Structure 1
């Protein structure tokens, strides 16, 4: 038996050795139909041999933070591991004047960049605006693990809510198609993002093996043979830890450097003639007879064909009463180069999720480091508390790694829905507004695939996006304010459930 957050809350609710490329590299410019200059070429993102100790150049939400063990706390905030392991990246200027285009995209994360790139490849004139910098949000701050499924919905959940044909189509969409799309885009636009294949879900209780078997069986029923179940003895070929009883080995999942992936998508978009403006926040959205007008502090942008809200903080423009998601805080850390070969911990070099209530997720990253993440909280924990928690988890999983240290840690903000599935919407305006939010901590691959689905819907290629709009979502009154109270209560109740029935998989 399994009981996840979706069921519980429904009941309760009724980057290589090429060096650092300077941002002073001249950028080619062109002039659009509005007479405004925009960049037509940018340097390709380059993965460095190791990290560089540098201050962040990304403006981030004031509620979150970056920590580095050697940083001066009175100086500028340090870069997180992803930014520090990539070459310098140019800043995009603010919106220079009023402009017109086919599609305006709000948000410069993976969803916005993928949507923009696919639309530009289809020949549309696209503008992306970002209130901070490209990669400032969750797309540049997550664990970098790519897994199939639509947010928290796995194959078994899909089969319990949909017909077999519907579940098979949806699973293929957010599984094999999402993974293959990342590979196709990186090859087509010739950028590197440390894409590796293979992923594992490990059982922290013997009773959790039934859950893994059930989901593997559901995946096979949906035409996906990529997962197999292994026991504790074979598991030693993958993970040198004694706390697990077995695992599901998924050859279709994997890992990626998420900020390198994002910058690669942006690199392709700009080379296709796209325009990005940073430090440009949307202030309003107005319908007019000739299109939709996005208002910013620096001018307006009129969209002839569509507006895409690719960041959860703006979905209130589409859902004016209250939203269907609630923000929560996440945490990730990276060790310095380990004193032992990281392959002695992870011989198969596969990223890991486990089945405990508050999951651990971890993977080996370049230069013999270990990336480790965990916890989801309603308010922001301090670097000290996060580091202490993650170090304790590392010691629990890998006691042979004596006195582990952290070099980087950072927090982020994601969003959750009550039912655990991503909320995708499109209104009926002549110039439609698209909104996608509620990634539930599992959106790295799916954001890229759904970006293509939005593009395909705008251009009339298929009805994939329509498929994603059919799920019913509960609204969450005061959604931006109740997390510090509701999330601890839900976690506490789920924790009690986990203690009473430890053989059940109870996930948050």
Structure 2
């Protein structure tokens, strides 16, 4: 196949810069999300975050301004939508992808970039509790080994540079948390995953030069990646296979009729002759109409330091990303030009830039007190959504035509999102029942959950926090 001849427009691959170019963002600022850069690097109304700044400016796709038809409409240009669209197009399905902002502008271009196994907050132990051995094993490997392998296969197939690195560590902030980590490792071994190993305190110091931890879990399967490069790479592959993308195209409604599903946008209607994929993450509720609402929103925060005064290898000798086990987790990893990317917290109301900057800087200095002159170049917020049980809510509905929806990522799931995109395409084409497996997980409706999130989340965090103070050896991460 001559890929160039099959491109709907001349789309280039995402290209990483050696470091960053401080600049205004090409994305429109939406909702409560914001970006901040150190004032010494320029004054912009809406600066680019670290991920956008570390990539060359990319393709701009036109807005839809007419009525069109296709087989499948994918709504949302993040990891899920771009993956579903790519895998549909690879199987010869005429697919149109619409995005209200630009490709990768929301959570897929704003997350921490860690590749960890599991279905949102469902890990091996929970899966083994809810399913038979064979079903739990299938679900675990779907969300772990298969998800990681799929990203590697896509990267190789389309020759993408994604800053993919392998391995990650969960570091215990209390000695009692080692028991929970060991239980998780044994559950993975029960489901025939041998990719983990416990680390004592001395062994952990070989990976993390911090005295905060009592040991941890080494996971050879996970790792980290540049999430915006991955999202753009998926969209690039989609275009190579003849897919069409429309940016600045917001979907207003979805209506199923006898001859197809009509997707109404601000400047045109798309008739999907066969199916629609709702890949809009925390905004699904806007299109689900009267269907049950199983998620509530919450806000997350990430920063990237200026180049550090010490070599990153003095902090993270093996270059593995880290999660810790405190209730309000810290997570961090090294990125380009000796910078440290550091994230944490989850709130029901969105913090401002100054409060977030000071909080994350304080956490960096707590974990690595040997850093005396840390400066932060980038800080940004993100929006994700929670389910009650912690698993992702996957749905398939429609009277005559299949309509797919996925929501409730709880701040986890870069690799799994890509894998579920493929599962949607495979389900549509009758190639597997993987997506059906995901729909069997039961979820609880949350009446008024979106309106009450600023109240409910702080109360829940306070209750969990008190529990952690009473029983600090019990591991509960938010």
Q: TM-score, normalised on structure 1?
A: 0.91
- Trace 1:4-19 onto structure 2 (pairs within 5 A): none
Check conservation: 2:133, 2:191, Cα contact below 8 A.
yes
| Counterpart Cα distance in 2 of 1:71 and 1:483 | 36
Find the residue that maps to 1:504 and give its secondary structure.
Answer: coil
Report runs of 4+ in structure 1 exceeding 2 Å deviation.
Answer: 38-41, 70-76, 314-319
Contact 2:321 2:333 in 1 (8 A): yes
Partner of 1:120: 89
SS of alignment partner, residue 250 of structure 1:
strand
What is the rounded CA distance, in whole Å, between the counterparts of 1:41 and 1:409 in structure 2? 33
Structure-2 separation of matches of 1:206 and 1:111: 37
Aligned to 1:169: 138
- Secondary structure in structure 2 of the residue aligned to 1:199: strand
Distance 2:128 2:108 in 1: 29
* Separation in 1, partners of 2:104, 2:72: 21
Residue aligning to 2:337 = 367
Q: Does 1:350 align with 2:320?
A: yes
CA contact (8 A) 2:22 2:41 kept: no
Matches within 5 A, 1:316-331: 316-318=286-288, 320-331=290-301
Q: In the TM superposition, what is the alpha-carbon distance from 1:429 to its structure 2 partner?
A: 2.1
Q: Do the aligned partners of 1:206 and 1:503 also contact (CA within 8 Å) in 2?
A: yes
Aligned position for 2:228: 259
Which has the higher mean CA deviation after the structures are superposed, 42-51 or 55-64? 55-64
Separation in structure 2 between the aligned mates of residue 475 and residue 29 of structure 1, nearest angstrom = 47
User: Secondary structure of the residue that 1:284 maps to in structure 2?
Assistant: strand
Tell me the distance in 1 between the aligned counterparts of 2:468 and 2:477.
9
- Counterpart contact for 1:292–1:302, Cα < 8 Å: yes
1:82 is matched with which residue?
Answer: 51
Distance 1:72 1:47, change over 3 A: closer
1:493 maps to which residue?
Answer: 463
8 A contact 1:305–1:458 mirrored in 2: no
Cα deviations across residues 15-54 of structure 1 (Å, max 9, x unaligned)?
xxxxxxxxxxxxx899xxxxxxx94331111000010010
Kept in 2, the 8 Å contact 1:60–1:137? The answer is no
Q: Give the Cα separation in 1 of the matches to 2:29 and 2:127.
A: 35
1:427 to 375, 397, 404: 397
How far off is 1:450 after superposition?
A: 0.1
Residue 237, structure 1, aligned to residue 206, structure 2: yes
State the alpha-carbon separation in 1 of the partners of residues 420 and 291 from structure 2.
Answer: 25
| Structure 2 segments unaligned to the other structure (5+ residues) | none
1:91 to 60, 64, 67: 60
Q: Does 1:504 align with 2:466?
A: no
Identify the match of residue 305 of structure 2 among 335, 355, 370. 335
3-state DSSP class of the match of 1:95? coil
Q: Distance in 2 between matches of 1:263 and 1:476?
A: 33
Equivalent in 300, 305, 309 of residue 278 of structure 2: 309
Q: Which residue of 2 aligns with 1:480?
A: 450
- How does 1:37-186 map onto structure 2 within 5 Å? 39-70=8-39, 75-186=44-155
Secondary structure of 1:308's counterpart equals: strand
Range with bigger deviation, 112-121 or 311-320 = 311-320
Displacement of 1:507: 1.7
C-alpha change, 1:75 and 1:349, in structure 2 (3 Å) is closer
- Residues 1:394 and 2:326 are matched in the alignment: no
Q: What corresponds to 1:406 in structure 2?
A: 376
Q: 2: distance between equivalents of 1:285 and 1:314?
A: 12
Asked if structure 1 preserves the Cα contact closer than 8 Å seen for 2:277 and 2:404, the reply is yes
Q: Which secondary structure does the structure 2 equivalent of 1:307 belong to? A: strand
Matches of 1:224 and 1:251, distance apart in 2: 11
2:22 touches 2:42 (CA, 8 Å); kept in 1?
no
Give the RMSD, CA atoms, in angstroms. Answer: 1.4
Alpha-carbon shift at residue 339 of structure 1 (Å)? 0.8
